[in-house]
Chain A
């Protein structure tokens, strides 16, 4: 080791507090970046491999029923590599020891030909045997939620027929990476599962013998989906086609893509902010060091060291900071990523979701932080090596000061002596002040995000499930029924109020944009499922026209008053123009409503209902559930309270983890920035402070002089930080706001107060740490030294 390197290590040792502070801030940025990029990488590579290996289909289509010979016709469509026809249906599962019924989607497995698409990944057990009866494979998340194993029995009601299915295997499907009820924003694995059964048996149960009601297609490489979709719709039209769609509209795939998009954003925005602050901090530390070692530099040059050697020596300081930051940041990033990946297991089901660190992220992190640190240091080093040795060995003249702006404005009397010192110091080094303030502002801004998300979720829960949807239960019939069906529902025990709804699949088209969704008809002035505007006021449903989700209006680019084309994809498939009468606010999925009689007229039908919203007397709850389970025509049963609980459970944990993470980052940044600034100020002004001590200032008074400057910056930075945090939270809420889930932007005083408190506490702690240093100041040596 050369003597210079030894000097380097000792100097770093003397500045370990500051070195650590800068490295940690850098590490926070890198940890965030590495975590987000590795998660993205893990999810993307796992997803792609899974889709590929298990032949996930490119195109999907539902229909009422087509005979099996149509399959040959479908295979002729140009651009189709493989096609599979299936039978799918809904089942009500009467789970032992579970009062509320669960819903199942049942999908057929071909038993006379090999399965080509959406291959199952068997976790345990086996597929149903050919010709066997009552055998089913169930989805993993659902199996885990109930502890089902091969050999267990599940009583199920299929098309009104009760039968007991035997679990023979537990499996995963690329079609259900996000394993949730169609239209649900979060998985509720206790109340929803997917079941796979032999085609022959399922066709019989679903009254679909010799036919199919679902088609999945694998496109030839490079084939555009649009012509295939059109051709599928054309061929299937006579068979009650409900409109084909591509993978980008497939519910599970959409959710996964939304998550990845958010991660991509996070991997960029935060690290940039952290790294720029760290770059400035290292620059400030090293500029100070170089200035302190002015004489040493002169001596080194006098001994014959070249400017380049001296420059490299100081660059190594930056390198040490970068290396510590990168090592700590990578370790933290991988550790966090490895933990968060488990959290994803709750939402996304893959055969295996290994955490695969994105090594290119480390390289990028190292390069970014090194570049940032070097840029920060280069100025100071250049200044130091440019000085001729003889000049450098002479003491620096006293720093130049001038009256601060406040004094120049004639307001000098407002500032006491220490405040004047503080103001003049800040003005003399405006960049240092600005970046310190920015660092503190960033620290203030960080905790605003999790706070906003948490408040948003609370608001959403209460808005969606207390204010808008006041029903206790939403019941769906196995197929549309008459007024009598409604009457039956309203006579279930404990039902206080029943409001019917009629749902038809349809495509809404406005200009060149369109969306396929369910259009619901509900009674005007509904009391249970209400449509609310942004201020939570109910919107009256006009006798004519549509009310749609605000998000849907945004997607279609339509405004109230516009005429929207409504293409119903059921029955006689009527196509009609309807006026967009208004938009309502909701936070999950998108939907469209019209007056129920209006929908009946459109469908040329009488009082048909698809289901009903029910208000149930709690006193008769168990009785109601027992009866509902035994009612064959009930195909789905959504219990609001269960949805709320499951939503709370899944999100609360993720948000709490996010909050802990962000709070820690905020503390590190706030403490690091303030501590570092205070240490630099202390080192720059130790002579002043020692002088003050010698002439009789108490320790407290001297600390006050130093701290007033930083306190001024902290107080100025907090409002700016709250603004930055709000902007960041707004951005994240907007990017996280997708068709499947949205979050209201709730910036509350509580969130702001928490953020400010975190920063004030961390700052106070660093003040305390530095104040201890002032106590240890060696008065004599400071005063004797020639600076």
Chain B
């Protein structure tokens, strides 16, 4: 698989002693911004294991550290202390170049504001990834997964918010990432459109077996997850496993 091949090539990401079953393993993870009077302790000691094929929902109030944790998992940021491994490889202390490569080949991101390139059509936005990925899905197929086959040649300005977000999901999964990280993916959408977006994410998780982590303010989403993590004050305050996942279509809003 592509992600392992990347990480095995990376000399700085040393093998860790922990069991390699988990995709991610965090131990005593902290992240501090600034210093002295302006010091902000965003993560204050996170212990966490995330497993293949899981759909995890991360809940918590603003400032609880959800986004910081997600950014560290995605290689957009590096922890201040503690250990964070991805498939047995240490991410703490990885160089910018290694992180770029990690993002390029292992992680898919979905953001609240879609972040599509306005000068590229839906298909081209996805192709942006498939051009640089190791073993991608064809852009058409990825857009089919999010049910946008009929909108492939539209520019972002010609798509609704929900459609733009689904293009973003197609773009994120086209590289067959092991991990899909979603930061408030429905935050800017109305309920009805939000559902179509969540259904697309759910489908990716089930059909491709991708580990999905979703950050949200919306507690309703907890029911679609395998596991729910509730954060406050920079640590995981509560962890809850759902014995049965409810399909997105059955959620009560």
**Chain A interface (Cβ < 8 Å from any Cβ of B):** 397-402, 417, 420-421, 424-425, 428, 687-688, 690-699, 701, 779-780, 783-784, 786-787
Contact = CB atoms under 8 A, between A and B. Distances in A.
A695 B104 contact: yes
27 contacts: A398-B155, A399-B118, A400-B155, A401-B118, A401-B157, A688-B117, A688-B119, A692-B117, A692-B128, A693-B100, A694-B74, A694-B103, A695-B103, A695-B104, A695-B129, A696-B100, A696-B104, A696-B129, A698-B100, A698-B104, A699-B100, A701-B132, A780-B76, A780-B77, A784-B67, A784-B113, A787-B113
A417 B105 contact: no
B109 interface: yes
The 4 A-B residue pairs with the shortest CB-CB distance in the complex, in nearest-first order: A696-B104, A691-B115, A398-B156, A696-B103
B157 A695 contact: no
Given A417-B131, A695-B109, A398 B101 contact: no
A690 B113 CA distance: 13
B12 interface: no
B100 A398 contact: no
B132 A425 contact: no
B127 interface: yes
Given A398-B157, A399-B157, A694-B76, A421 B119 contact: yes
Given A697-B104, A780-B71, A425 B113 contact: no
Contacts of A699: 100
Contacts of A786: 113
Nearest to A399: B118
Contacts of B189: none
B200 interface: no
Contacts of B111: 783-784
A671 B131 CA distance: 33
B120 A687 contact: no
Nearest to A698: B100
Chain B: interface size category: 35 or more
Contacts of A691: 115-117
Contacts of B120: 401, 417, 420-421
A708 to B, nearest CB: 12
A688 B111 CA distance: 13
A696 B101 contact: yes
Contacts of A701: 132
A397 B128 contact: no
A397 B158 CA distance: 10
B157 A397 contact: yes
B89 interface: no
A687 B155 CA distance: 16
Contacts of A421: 117, 119-120
Contact of A696 (B113, B132, B155): B132
B171 interface: yes
Nearest to B104: A696
Nearest to B68: A780
B124 interface: yes
A692 B120 CA distance: 12
A718 B172 CA distance: 40
A697 B97 CA distance: 10
Contacts of A417: 120, 124, 127-128, 131
Contacts of B76: 694, 779-780
A688 B113 CA distance: 12
Given A428-B119, A695-B129, A401 B155 contact: yes
A697 B119 CA distance: 17
A688 B112 CA distance: 15
Given A398-B156, A696-B100, A696-B104, A425 B71 contact: no
Nearest to A688: B117
A694 B74 CA distance: 9
A399 B103 CA distance: 27
Contact of A783 (B97, B115, B155): B115
A658 to B, nearest CB: 44
A420 B157 contact: no
Contacts of A693: 100
Q: Which of A428, A701, A783 has the most CB of B within 10 A?
A: A783
Given A399-B118, A417-B120, A780-B76, A694 B109 contact: yes
Nearest to A701: B132
Contacts of A690: 115
A780 B33 CA distance: 13
A735 to B, nearest CB: 46
Contacts of B67: 784
Nearest to A416: B131
A465 B171 CA distance: 73
B77 A398 contact: no
A775 to B, nearest CB: 9
Nearest to A694: B109
A424 B116 CA distance: 15
Nearest to B168: A691
Given A779-B76, A783-B111, A424 B119 contact: yes
Contacts of A695: 103-104, 108-109, 128-129, 171-172
Given A692-B128, A695-B104, 13 more contacts: A401-B119, A401-B120, A401-B155, A417-B120, A417-B124, A421-B120, A688-B119, A691-B117, A694-B74, A695-B108, A699-B100, A784-B113, A786-B113
